[in-house]
Amino acid sequence: MSPIYLALRELNYRWKSGLVFGLIVAAVTGVLAYFSINDAGFQKEIGRNVRDIGSNVVILPSDVDQYAYHLAGGYSEITMTSNLVSQLIEHRASLNHLIPMLERRAMCATGDHQSIGRVVGISASIAMPDRPKSPMQRSISIGELQLGSELARKLGVARDTKAEVTIAGESFQVQRVNRASGTWQDSAAFIDLKSAQNLFQLPERISRIEAIECTSEQCEASGLQSSVILNNEIAKITDEASFLRKEGMAEARLSVRSVSRENFLILQNVLWVFLALTLLGLAMLNSLGRKPEIGVLQAVGYGRWRVASLFLVRSMLLSAIGAAVGISVGMAASIEQANRLFVMTGQKVSLDWNAAATIGGVAFILAVLGSCVPALLAAGEDPAHLIGKDS
What does the mean pLDDT of the chain come to? 77
pLDDT, tens only, 34-86: 777 777 666 666 666 666 666 788 899 999 998 999 898 889 999 999 999 99
> With 90 as the cut, is the pLDDT of residue 291 above it?
no
> With 80 as the cut, is the pLDDT of residue 98 above it?
yes
pLDDT, tens only, 334-375: 777 776 666 555 455 666 777 778 877 887 777 666 666 655
Domain ranges of the chain: 3-49+255-387, 57-245
> With 50 as the cut, is the pLDDT of residue 216 above it?
no
* Residues forming a β-bridge with 62: none
Helix axes 3-13 and 15-51, enclosed angle (nearest 10): 90
The letter for the amino acid at 348 is: K
**What CA–CA distance (Å, rounded) separates 363 from 359?**
6
So what's the pLDDT on residue 84? 92
So what's the pLDDT on residue 219? 46
Left (φ > 0), alpha (ψ -120 to 50) or beta: where does 262 sit? alpha
> With 70 as the cut, is the pLDDT of residue 257 above it?
no
pLDDT, tens only, 166-212: 999 899 999 999 988 888 899 999 999 999 999 999 999 999 998 88
**CA 33, 30, 366, 357 torsion: positive or negative?**
negative
So what's the pLDDT on residue 47? 64
248 exposure class (CB count in 10 Å sphere: 0-12, 13-18, 19+): exposed
**What CA–CA distance (Å, rounded) separates 308 from 348?**
46
**Number of residues assigned to the chain:** 391
Q: Any residues with CB less than 8 A from the CB of 3 and at least 6 apart, and which?
A: 306, 309, 310, 312, 313
**What CA–CA distance (Å, rounded) separates 213 from 58?**
10
Let me know: does 349 contact 333? Beta carbons within 8 Å: no
**What CA–CA distance (Å, rounded) separates 58 from 346?**
31
So what's the pLDDT on residue 281? 74
So what's the pLDDT on residue 116? 94
Helices then strands, each counted (H, E), the chain: 13, 11
